[in-house]
Amino acid sequence: MRIRPSLVILAIACSAAACSTAESYDVVIANGRVMDPETGFFETANVGVRDGVVAIISGEVLDGVRVIDASGHVVAPGFVDLHEHGQNEESYALMVRDGVTTALELEVGTSDIDRWYAERDGGQIVNHGVSIGHVQVRMDVMDDPGTGLVPAGIGGYGSATPEQLDEIERLVRLGLDQGALAVGFGSAYTPGADMREIQRLFATGAEYGAPSHIHMRGGLAGLDSTLTAARVENAPLHIVHVNSSSGAAIEDFLSAIESAQATGQDVTTETYPYGAGMTEITSALFDDWASWDDDRFAMHQLVSTGERLDRASFQAARESGGLVIIHGRTEEMTRTAVASPITMIASDGGMENGRGHPRTSGSYAKVLGRYVRDEGLLTLEEAVAKMTIMPARRLEARAPMLARKGRLQVGMDADITVFDPGTVLDRSTYMDATIPSSGIPFVLVNGAIVVDDGQLTTARPGRAVRALTR
């Protein structure tokens, strides 16, 4: 087989000895169409993995302890999810079968970075990381136990005193000093935190080169004030789930973000490919529920039972707490967000005790199956870039180890997703979100096979993704 010049470029970083076809590798992925979104390489080749790293990409036959025949499949970098609430074994087991190899909780985050990472020291299926969360820190400082992941009282609605603001900032700085990847914000959940408070912490994150990942409030006016606050502080900004925050104004939201980018502002955004969102029913998002028209309640589906709600059942659920799915957006809104060249794909997923949203288990396969293959909304290369190189680049200045992810090149971490472009598809539903995606038979994390012919293995090679401290 003749090696094409572009293939030689990818393999040139390895030594002559390492590139010898007589070498044996831990894992060889043979005969697949190898895709690297950074260089644009997309050709049939063989990938050799050794010691957790891509050691060679070659047109020649390679010898390996384990050889995977990827004929008819795409061999891509593992997907990097910037917005994954489900930082537990149950969620990891579903998302990895959706091709995700790095799952990061950057919106809600945590109030204790060292403890969060220590709880996962025993080995996880996927790479994992977290932000220092403004909501969580605010709840601690203002003595609010919260309901689920959101404030129950003063932590969301109260105005912080100057002394409390100082303590919030101190704890955010402590989290950044301990290696938090970002500063997470849920201003939609904390109406008591005015924009001055948010802007102050944007400035704190900017000092550390840490992006602020925000679930913003207030529609287009809120987007404008958020962009302005970040611009004043020269703070890297990431708008989470632009599809959810914008609703019917998705085109205007995307246009505003693109305009900010055109002026040189460091702002990025993401979307998940579903028309329904999910959140805690006790959150501030639903404070006006008593004024709703009766037909609006039917848009809401209780996660615990799957039932659609009416006024009486919504009130009862609001009092008892729990997650609710909101069927509030059209398919055209979803398609607009997915197709935009500025959006990354992120799941906003999470699973607990078998209940959750299908985005946890199907976001990436749905984009590849429905929006790439079936509808031609995106090219395969565009979609994979949204899942790999774009999210990796968002964080690599803060966490240099991400410069080794989101790419499939010699010397990169062997986080690899093998999928069949002809069959890949999400299968989970709003009634059963635990059904894994199809068409993703093999996934490697740091060179170890974690999905083998569609089945989860016992390997737990995932590493902590943590920022360098000052």
Mean pLDDT of 25-31: 98
Pick the CATH number of 79-275+329-401 from 3.40.50.2300, 3.20.20.140, 1.10.3720.10, 3.90.420.10: 3.20.20.140
The predicted structure's pLDDT at residue 153: 85
What pLDDT, in 10s, does the model give residues 214-265? 999 999 999 999 999 999 999 999 999 999 999 999 999 999 999 999 999 9
Distance between terminal CA atoms of the chain?
Answer: 49
Mean pLDDT of 39-45: 98
What pLDDT, in 10s, does the model give residues 55-86? 999 999 999 999 999 999 999 999 999 999 99
Mean pLDDT of 201-206: 98
CATH class name, domain 5-72 = mainly beta
The predicted structure's pLDDT at residue 4: 44
Ranges for all domains in the chain classified under CATH 3.20.20.140? 79-275+329-401
The predicted structure's pLDDT at residue 2: 35
CA distance 293 to 304: 24
Mean pLDDT of 12-19: 40
CA distance 314 to 318: 6
The predicted structure's pLDDT at residue 150: 83
365 neighbors 439 (Cβ within 8 angstroms): yes
CA distance 419 to 341: 23
Q: Does residue 14 surpass a pLDDT of 70? A: no
Mean pLDDT of 14-43: 81
Q: Tell me the β-bridge partners of 183.
A: 132, 212
CA distance 255 to 259: 6
The predicted structure's pLDDT at residue 209: 97
Ranges for all domains in the chain classified under CATH 2.30.40.10? 5-72
What pLDDT, in 10s, does the model give residues 288-306? 999 999 999 999 999 999 9
What pLDDT, in 10s, does the model give residues 403-413? 999 999 999 99
The predicted structure's pLDDT at residue 143: 94
Tokens linked to 74: 């795409």
Mean model confidence pLDDT for the chain: 94
Instruction: Compute CA distances 289 → 162, 251, 330, 366, 372, whole Å.
Output: 32, 27, 21, 32, 38
Instruction: Compute CA distances 451 → 83, 124, 456, 461, whole Å.
Output: 22, 13, 5, 12
Instruction: Compute CA distances 365 → 290, 326, 346, 360, whole Å.
Output: 38, 22, 12, 11
Percent of the chain at pLDDT above 70?
95
Q: Does residue 192 surpass a pLDDT of 90? A: yes
What pLDDT, in 10s, does the model give residues 327-370? 999 999 999 999 999 999 999 999 989 999 999 999 999 999 99
What confidence category does residue 22 fall into, taking pLDDT thresholds of 50, 70 and 90? low
